[in-house]
Amino acid sequence: MSDEDFAGKVALVTGAAGGMGRATAVAFAAAGARVTVADLAAEGGNETVRMIEDAGGEAQFLGTDVADARSVEDLVRGTVEAFGGLDCAVNGAAIELERERLADIEVEMFDKIIAVNLRSIFLCLKYELRQMLEQGRGGAIVNIASTNSFRPQPHQSAYTASKHGVLGMTRNAAIDYAPDGIRINAICPGAIDTPMLRAAIERRGRDPQDVADRLSVLGRFGDPSEIAKAALWLCSDASSFTVGHALAVDGGYLAR
């Protein structure tokens, strides 16, 4: 059995209606896991499930508001009821909506970004960890942070704050739960070619190639599958000594 063989495992992926989350859910299923696809967007989430099933995998969609405690608790419970447990989780649901400097951001906008990007990580960790502790067989959790966790972009104060928080929470939880055999790490994606990135570029009226050149030494955007591969590695036995790590998958952006 390969270190990245997830046969018999159960994985949960939030933000899986498209982009990096969809790629990660599909990759888990291709590696043998049964997968819960979680998102607010039912059409996209069900399409992810169809993609998995068409390829011979097993998945379910659960509509989830990751900023709501009851909804996240129901998500974990629904995963266990359907598949018998929880071994791996990738918490990737996020939004990026800003165009203004901090003084011009509406309070409601700030609260929404923090709720979806940071409160969600707290809630997902809370209920995923409870389930893994109850099972007593360990597990692996990956939180999706950002290169903004280290290097802010202009006009993204709330988003940057949320992603700094994701990284801090990841590291603290990793220390707390490593003795229980639960490894918690983060991925810090750079410019990944997703609908969210394309929308942000359009919103700011920028040229996509100029953005790719500025945010990657490779002169291209990353593919969602490249994040998926990193997530599976962090959830696999191949990374068994990796705890509390922030893995930058960014085309060299942070190195420049």
Q: Which tens digit of pLDDT belongs to each residue from 87-142? A: 999 999 999 888 899 999 999 999 999 999 999 999 999 999 999 999 999 999 99
Residue 32 covered by a domain? yes
Residue 112 or residue 2, greater confidence: 112
DSSP label at residue 12: E
pLDDT at 166 over 70: yes
d(CA 198, CA 4): 31
159 catalytic per annotation: yes
Q: Considering the domain boundaries, does residue 5 fall inside one?
A: no
| Number of domain units in the chain | 1
Residue 34 falls inside a structural domain: yes
Output the domain CATH number for residue 104.
3.40.50.720
Q: Are 251 and 217 in contact (CB under 8 A)?
A: yes
Confidence of residue 2 (pLDDT cuts 50, 70, 90): low
User: Is 155 inside a domain boundary?
Assistant: yes
Query: Per-residue pLDDT for 171 more than 80?
Result: yes
Position 20 in a domain: yes
Interval 163-178 mean pLDDT: 98
pLDDT tens string 182-203 = 999 999 999 999 988 888 888 8
Q: Determine the structural domain holding residue 78 and report its residue range.
A: 10-195+225-247
Instruction: State yes or no: pLDDT of 144 exceeds 60.
Output: yes
Q: Is residue 209 part of a domain?
A: no
pLDDT at residue 1 is higher than 60: no
Does residue 49 have a pLDDT over 80? yes
* Predicted pLDDT of residue 3: 64
What b-and-e string marks burial along 170-205, b requiring 16 or more CB atoms within 10 Å of the CB?
bbebbeebeeeebbbbbbbbbbbbbebbeebbeeee
Domain membership of residue 213 (yes or no) is no
**Which is the catalytic residue, given 127, 159, 177, 253?**
159
Residue 43 falls inside a structural domain = yes
Give the count of beta carbons closer than 10 Å to the beta carbon of residue 39.
Answer: 27
